Structure 1
């Protein structure tokens, strides 16, 4: 049997025992996100704010700098996260420009080392988390019979928080297969159909976690093409990507991929991305929408105006050099 590649790359890692995680091989990456105004329909919006989330500073992602592209922006802090605000006095169907940001980020692989025994006697989660991360605030269909039944079946009589999370993940993997779709259906539809995109996996997982009292949230937003040996050449992702984070009181937010570990029909499922992420995940500000439109402090919903009908987005990554954890 012949191999196309025989080069074995060295592994660099560093373990942080006080925070229960290890970092491994990473890269210095330039990421750009740009919107190209090209409205499809007649429109006139005055005093418009176009808000874009910026890359987040996390254990595995260090933001060195962010600068505007095309138009200047004002940076604000929203729920502790960085957001760029682009202002338009008037935006019509004739408006044409590009605007966005370019960020220099350092990203590493991360894996948390936490066991069920570490999660036996946990403190209470912050009091405001219940209203933010345990409710149906994103069309999660948590009041439907199929989702409520699945939430109960997935955990059974398990009481340990980490085992509950692991059991729910495996329950969802047993019942969904991955498939790309042009739009995202609600969790009840996805679960009944048995096929879901990454966003639909996340929706089902969020619904089952929250019904079991597990605080969780959607995070993302893109993955750099995993071409680690291709440096200084622009790379474009095929599509956006989301995963989720769950909250362990006393520890913090831990990542979990949506579907990449669902690789064997019926299992067993690997735990590569259970409490772990690869280097190529680019994390945007968390707990806030990636993009939204506002006028006079009021958010415009999709029925009023769709960002997809106003502009074409362009996403690009350039891997500059390898970086080892320090």
Structure 2
């Protein structure tokens, strides 16, 4: 997929492909408006950002440099309650509410009466709205489309397929149509005239519900601001209930945050906001039973260097380690001459990571003429090397059923993913069963999702491998505070011959019973994944005589901690 040099912030170096990126040069602050609860839609008017508060019905103007908030429709809030989309075209305000699209002159907002003109009525809820000349673009999740109307005749002209499966809001930038999808946590850049997807990128926070390009008068940057609105659970202090003084409840969270990106079509991916994260992985020797081990070597994989992750530095915790390479990946080796019964140690590593969101941009046509998989990769990545039950009738039948007659690699792996999602629901288990057992049961942990995905993909000729191992708790605004994940996590990578490995989440996108399933983490990873142990064991122990008859879980307690230090500057 090639891009025309249409963006003002596109730059080209000799010998390189065209790179399209945000032209913000400095970090911009998070904007937290005062007194709003659930912002929907975002528009630019006279140097200010305008948004709707769906809970209060406020149309507010926001100053990004100060959080100053002004209600523009103080006499007419009822007309905007539960509003979803917002646009400004000239002196006309456009908004959506329920299944209707409305418009009214901005000057009428200060009057004593306001009667918005009903522009269009949809059979389903109208989500977002944006105006380009005489064309009015309306997103509708239920229709799975972007509907385009003529502003004069109020008739539908045409429609484009929606790029995602969630509720979408939209805006324009020149000839580009930009959309954000709440469920996909993705922003899409599309051609305004054809609806062709140019590229997409992941947002650093969940539930994006509006976007607009803002020319910052202080820096000269054009900042892409995205609105985020969601509910979060928290523990509330209830002084009126002495028996149960604390209760679980929910509160609204809504704010604007700049979205930075860099799209490289030659490398087929887009990078988005990144963070500097400190990660600690340590083991505390605390055996369940008395055990003595001689000449013990304890191996723990180190974070990997990838397109979205950079290992700035790593240092030992407790005791020093040496390093070795395993399949090109760095592994820390801790050595104990003798580990006596009830002997105590804490050891591990502390790493400083730069992590970003990544979204790969491959089309079905891109993989139609790929070279065949090499014999080496066939022997390594098409075999049952981890109790995948690939020789059982149930898994072989599932492998055939999952793809039908499909031959395209991308379509095959996506159909396999959706097949597994249709038949499995997520649940935590104390141990991992083989794919045939998990598929028959109909529930599984992330490891069991991975096992089934590996088995079905490999039986269909797609090289794939397990990747993990942890996710930073995804609270990008909770910086310099220790965060501890409750579980480990694994996902897979599949291989496109002629290009390389692409990520695919195991179970995280299985969020809608029966689909349609989001593809946010199909060929994409958010910033909070810590990549290590690609196709190798994350952690293992051994002695020269291989007489280890105790598991790591019976021998030690692991401690995992993340600290988000700061947001990285734009690329």
Q: What is the deviation of 1:79?
A: 1.1
The aligned residue for residue 18 of structure 1 is 266
Q: What is the deviation of 1:165?
A: 0.6
Q: What is the deviation of 1:127?
A: 2.7
Could you tell me whether the CA contact under 8 Å between 2:469 and 2:533 is conserved in 1? no
The aligned residue for residue 427 of structure 2 is 179
**1:314 correspondence with 2:528:** no
CA-to-aligned-CA distance 1:240-269 (integer Å, 9 cap, x gap): 011100000011000000111111111111
Assess, with a 3 A threshold, how the Cα gap between structure 1 residues 74 and 117 changes in structure 2: closer, same or farther: same
The aligned residue for residue 161 of structure 1 is 409
Q: What is the deviation of 1:206?
A: 0.4
| 1:144 aligned to which of 369, 376, 392 | 392
Larger strand share, 1 or 2: 2
Q: What is the deviation of 1:144?
A: 0.9
SS in 2 for 1:18: coil
The aligned residue for residue 36 of structure 1 is 284
Could you tell me whether the CA contact under 8 Å between 1:292 and 1:300 is conserved in 2? no
Distance in 1 (alpha carbons) for counterparts of 2:458 and 2:547: 27
**1:228 correspondence with 2:228:** no
Q: Which has the higher contact order (CA 8 A, sep 6+)?
A: 1
Aligned residue runs from structure 1 range 151-300, under 5 A: 151-296=399-544
Aligned residue runs from structure 1 range 24-103, under 5 A: 24-103=272-351
Larger helix share, 1 or 2: 1
Q: Flag structure 2 segments of 5+ consecutive residues without an equivalent.
A: 1-53, 56-228, 230-251
Q: Flag structure 1 segments of 5+ consecutive residues without an equivalent.
A: none
Could you tell me whether the CA contact under 8 Å between 1:38 and 1:93 is conserved in 2? no
Q: What is the deviation of 1:129?
A: 1.3
RMSD: 1.2
| 1:305 aligned to which of 546, 550, 553 | 550
Could you tell me whether the CA contact under 8 Å between 2:485 and 2:560 is conserved in 1? yes
CA-to-aligned-CA distance 1:25-78 (integer Å, 9 cap, x gap): 110000000000111112111111000100000001000001000000001111
Distance in 1 (alpha carbons) for counterparts of 2:258 and 2:445: 33
Assess, with a 3 A threshold, how the Cα gap between structure 1 residues 283 and 325 changes in structure 2: closer, same or farther: farther
Distance in 2 (alpha carbons) for counterparts of 1:310 and 1:124: 45
Distance in 1 (alpha carbons) for counterparts of 2:465 and 2:501: 9
Could you tell me whether the CA contact under 8 Å between 2:503 and 2:524 is conserved in 1? yes
Bigger Cα Rg: 2
Which consecutive segments of 4 or more residues in structure 1 shift more than 3 A?
298-301
Assess, with a 3 A threshold, how the Cα gap between structure 1 residues 213 and 324 changes in structure 2: closer, same or farther: farther
Distance in 2 (alpha carbons) for counterparts of 1:278 and 1:35: 27
Distance in 2 (alpha carbons) for counterparts of 1:308 and 1:288: 18
TM-score (normalised: structure 2): 0.56
Q: What is the deviation of 1:299?
A: 5.7
Distance in 2 (alpha carbons) for counterparts of 1:49 and 1:10: 46
